[in-house]
Amino acid sequence: MGSLFTVRDSCGLEQDCRKIDVLDERRIRVTGHFFRTVRMADEGYDFVEDPAAFLDWLKRSKVKADLFTFVQRIPDLRPKYAGYHLERESAAVLPIETYEKWWTGQINDKTRNMVRKAQKKGVDIRVVNFDDQLVDGIVSIYNECRIRRGKPFKHFGKNSATVREDNLSFNDRSEFIGAYFGGELIGFAKLTYLGTSASLMQIISKIAHRDKAPTNGLIAKAVERCAQSGVSYLRYATWSRGSLGDFKIHHGFQRFDVPRYYVPLNEKGRMMLLLGWQHGLRERLPERALDFLTGMRAKWYGFRYPTRKS
């Protein structure tokens, strides 16, 4: 995960801060040990609009890092910043014009039937307030299962206070969508607005209620809300492979190759770029090897934490 810092401006840096349109307190994350990379803590939600000014601020701060990386805001896929090392990072993005166009032209019959299934099963999907009741429901979802998608679920075991704190980010430009069955929260999505685009910061449902297709219903409601708000693009994390990738494709998401920039902060950072060490081991593995290791990991955790049958 790396180290999370909140760096406060001092010594006249407040002016630089205003130039690049960020708060006086900047949340950044440093990852790595010998080779250290710094990025915005909430990448994809906080953006660096003036890299030169931000780099000037970063170099004068006390943060110890070798390389700085940042991504460009969706939907602009044409590189905006010259002079920095550029690569492409794939995101799953749904272009939105109207809900009707999405419903009739961007998804297939099977996906439409899954959305209808949630309705027929009696799942009530609606925008909800962020209150104690919602937090308790989210805690219940998080603590349903220790293992999700073949690996330990990072939110498992969290208490109400932690869950509340985690979900307060970008509260002024986010809304929550809840999926309820019999008064029980069985799924939720956090939709964060970013001007002409929005992002699913989180979407998750209870495994025990998978037969009611709550996640499909949550996606449909998110599209509807975006269309009503004039949002043209909905982002759903990175472009995925396997079953999750198929799920995104079936709901109309497309691959957007977003510019990512890397800027060395010292000689070690320049060496990282020269040798291609800005990427982690996972990103350098061939897809076949990655699939094999992912499968082995899922089998191991399935053996260690077997699913209890009622």
Percent of the chain scoring above 90 in pLDDT? 66
Do residues 225 and 174 touch, judged by C-beta distance below 8 A? no
Q: Which has more pLDDT, 297 or 121?
A: 121
Q: Flag the least confident range among 76-80, 108-112, 187-191, 280-284.
A: 280-284
Q: Is the pLDDT of residue 149 over 80?
A: no
298 contacts 305 by C-beta, under 8 angstroms: no
pLDDT at residue 46, rounded to an integer: 87
* Among candidate residues 72, 21, 14, the one with its CA nearest the CA of residue 43: 72
Domain positions in the chain = 3-89+259-304, 93-255
Q: How, if at all, do strands 67-71 and 233-238 pair?
A: unpaired
Query: Under DSSP, is residue 112 helix (H, G, I), strand (E, B) or coil?
Result: helix
**pLDDT at residue 235, as a whole number:** 97
Q: Partners of 300 in the beta sheet?
A: none
Rg (alpha carbons) of the chain, rounded to whole number? 21
Question: d(Cα 109, Cα 145) in Å, to the nearest integer?
Answer: 31
d(CA 208, CA 206): 5
Asked whether the beta carbons of 88 and 275 are under 8 A apart, the reply is: no
Give the separation between CA 160 and CA 154, rounded to whole angstroms: 15
Pairing relation of β-strands 124-128 and 174-181?
antiparallel
User: Residue 21: its pLDDT value, please?
Assistant: 33
Residue 112 — very low, low, confident or very high, per pLDDT cuts 50/70/90? very high
For 232-264, what is each residue's pLDDT tens digit? 999 999 998 888 999 999 999 999 999 999 999
CATH 3.40.50.1110 assigned to 93-255: no
Q: Smallest Cα–Cα separation from 219: which of 240, 264, 250, 246?
A: 250
Tell me how far CA of residue 243 lies from CA of 102, 149, 240, 276, 295, in angstroms. 21, 10, 8, 30, 13
Has residue 126 got a pLDDT over 70?
yes
| Three-state secondary structure readout of 57-90 | HHHHCCCCCCEEEEECCCCCCCCCCCCCEEEEEE
Closest CA to 44 of 73, 21, 86: 73
The predicted structure's pLDDT at residue 282: 62
pLDDT tens digits, one per residue of 21-61: 333 455 888 988 889 999 998 898 989 989 999 998 888 88
Across 74-89, b (16+ Cβ under 10 Å) vs e yields beeeeeebeebeeeee
Contact 272, 281 (CB under 8 A): no
| Pair of tokens at residue 117 | 């299934």
Q: Is the pLDDT of residue 85 over 70?
A: yes
- More confident position, 307 or 116: 116
Tokens describing residue 150: 């073949």
Res 289: pLDDT:
67
**Residue 19's pLDDT band (cuts 50, 70, 90):** very low
CB 160 within 8 A of CB 197: no
What percent of the chain has a predicted confidence (pLDDT) above 70? 83
Answer with the residue of higher pLDDT: 1 or 270: 270
Average per-residue pLDDT for the chain? 87
Task: Please tell me the predicted confidence (pLDDT) of residue 163.
Answer: 97
**Residue for token digits 């990512």?**
260
